[in-house]
Amino acid sequence: MIDSFFNLEIMAQVLPSILDGMGITAVLSILVILTGTVLGLLLATIRALQKRPVDLIIILFVDAFRAIPPLVILIVTFFALPYVGIQLSGLVATWLCLSLVLAAFAEEIFWAGILSVHKGQWEAARSTGFTFLQTLRFVVLPQAMRLALPPLTNRAIAIGKSTALASVVAVPEILNQASSAQAQYANASPLTLAALAYLAIFIPLVVLSRWVESRFAWKH
């Protein structure tokens, strides 16, 4: 048992490749979280303008990307798009797909937050000469954020973790490195090491998200 899961000798040999994988996982996760959140915010802003046809397109996109499993989206992007002449590297495909999935969830979360802000806030701000975008930025979003942040950070971390899916499209991130090593050594210890590597990346992120949430709370 100890030999299969905690073989220190194998772990030591695998460590460099797992560390390489950690670098890729960390960068990919951060990229996905940044692009996905920004894109989600952008979509929610456009939706707040309440222009009918555009709204419907956004809703369609959001519902589709929340309903289809991320793995399916990734496989379609990576293995099916080449048939129509679009060939993306595994890394770019994962970045794109997971960003879109996070954007879909983030849009809904931001949108719910924006809707929770009372209409009187819009009117008060507009009455002092603020434009639509200024009102959104200085008055509505700071209030919407308070409600949106906890579900948003949860979702961002969940989707950041699913960069493990990239192992399927041959991106040498943590899981991919660990699986190859596991096959090579016929031993599960590299997977144990992978689990530890994920903890090392995502525990700080969880702590960070808690800090961000507390910063956006305000006195009543």
201 to 220, contacts with another protein by CB under 8 A?
Answer: 218-220
Residue 47 CB, nearest distance to another protein (Å)? 22
The window from 39-47, 57-65, 133-141, 192-200 that contacts another protein (CB under 8 A) reads 133-141
Select the residue interacting with another protein from 61, 130, 185, 198 (CB under 8 A). 130
Tokens 């031993």, residue?
187
Q: Per rule CB under 8 A, is residue 143 in the interface with another protein?
A: yes
Tokens linked to 184: 């090579």
Q: HSE-up of 165 (CA within 13 Å, CB side)?
A: 25
The window from 7-15, 82-90, 100-108, 141-149 that contacts another protein (CB under 8 A) reads 141-149
User: In angstroms, how far is CA 132 from the centroid of its own chain?
Assistant: 28
Please report, to the nearest 10 degrees, the dihedral formed by the alpha carbons of residues 55, 57, 61, 62 taken in order: 10
Q: What are the φ and ψ backbone dihedral angles of 218, each rounded to 5 degrees?
A: -135, 165
Let me know how long the chain is. 220
Q: Per rule CB under 8 A, is residue 131 in the interface with another protein?
A: yes
| Alpha carbons 67 and 169: distance in angstroms, whole number | 21
Nearer to another protein (CB atom), residue 52 or residue 219: 219
| Alpha carbons 181 and 203: distance in angstroms, whole number | 24
Q: Per rule CB under 8 A, is residue 123 in the interface with another protein?
A: yes
Nearer to another protein (CB atom), residue 143 or residue 179: 143
Q: What are the φ and ψ backbone dihedral angles of 217, each rounded to 5 degrees?
A: -75, 150
Nearer to another protein (CB atom), residue 146 or residue 161: 146
Nearer to another protein (CB atom), residue 81 or residue 124: 124
Residue 131 CB, nearest distance to another protein (Å)? 6
Select the residue interacting with another protein from 56, 124, 196, 207 (CB under 8 A). 124
In terms of Cβ atoms closer than 10 Å to its own Cβ (0-12, 13-18, 19+), residue 140 is buried
Q: What angle do CA 97, 103, 109 make, to 5 degrees?
A: 145
Q: How many chain residues touch another protein (CB under 8 A)?
A: 21
Residue 97 CB, nearest distance to another protein (Å)? 35
Nearer to another protein (CB atom), residue 113 or residue 172: 113
| Alpha carbons 119 and 209: distance in angstroms, whole number | 29
Residues of this chain that interact with another protein (CB under 8 A) are: 118, 120-121, 123-131, 134, 138-139, 142-143, 146, 218-220
